[in-house]
Chain A
Amino acid sequence: MARINDVGGTQGFGAVDTTDDTEPFHADWEARVFGIWNALRAQGVFNLDEFRDTIESMPPTEYLATSYYERWYLAVVALLERKGVIAPGELDEPGGAR
């Protein structure tokens, strides 16, 4: 069961974008997601392989429709819910994503 992320050697995705883009983030929220991810990993809330596994387990349609750091955000939320750090849907509550 190769997952949607495992597309190495697969044709049909168009040309590879080789733009020399040195900006690590393209929006403030991306940097915040990266920072939150680092803090949670450092605290041992999840490990790198669990994180990768969570991203790879996204439904293919959702995976393909989301940006790189959107996947990071969705995976972090899923892991926090799975680990019981937050309640399911908690970030959807009013003020939850503040």
Chain B
Amino acid sequence: MDFTTQLLIAAISAGTPLLLATLGGILNERAGIIQLGAEGLMLMGAVTTCIIYIRSGSLLLALLAAVAVTALLGLVHSFLTVTLRANQTMSGLAMTLFGSGLSAYLGKSISGLPLPGTSPKLDLGWVKSVPVIGDLFGRLDYLTWFSLLLVLVLHLLIHHTSWGLHLRAVGDSPATADVMGIRVQLIRYSYVTAGAALIGLAGADMVLAYAPTWNEGLTAGRGWIAVGLVIFARWNPLRALFCAYFFGALDSLGFRLQLLGSAIPPYFLKMIPYVVTILVLMYLGYRNRNKPSGTPESLGTPYIREQRF
């Protein structure tokens, strides 16, 4: 395999958790709720997966637990932001702080222990023989296939179904949606919870397919990069795919360059994803300064129906 193919494979591997977290973020923000707790949710997803997988040996149980725990946290976030109308920024920060503290606390006993296995791979016999495609898609794991399928499903859901129309209405103009008889609170609750569960799954994918052991703070800011990716992707699942893989490539580029014996110290190579995030956001902000950015219009503002609920 040549360098480019290797880099592409690494991009998909490193990009899948980013993709899942970005899709979760898109669901949250399409409903009009900012989710800044992605980092904490990913950590909670990762630590739950590790604990349950090591203790029970069942991958399915571990994944279900990760989804359940983070969905529960998503429910807390939606209770705070939808029902209580709390500050969404602060609620997300609280989620990140709580998630990183709790995951470090819970994960102490299994820190550094290897997982019983990684995410199983789907062996596509006939595809493997095709030159480049085979190397890329021949042995992807189930979670990666799931994330690819999810991109398609979410794209169709958001842009081509009436559910998606309702979702977009709630994110853009909850008051109008309410008048039209759409249950704003219910939709916000469901999508925030589902989005949080997806971000939790991203954490699970991090430990299953990327770094197969629990370490404190293992996500190293990937949750925050996903928050940025939601903006790059302009709240669009198809774009999210390309953005996540681009950042996956950046993430592994540093590592690959190091292996090739680059003269740049590894610390600077590791800075690349963070610096590029800032630069890309600045570029997008500059380019879209006079254009609508695609942000759901009532993102971040709580909906208050006049005194009746």
Q: Do A and B come from one complex?
A: no
| A residues lining the B interface (CB < 8 Å) | none
| B residues lining the A interface (CB < 8 Å) | none
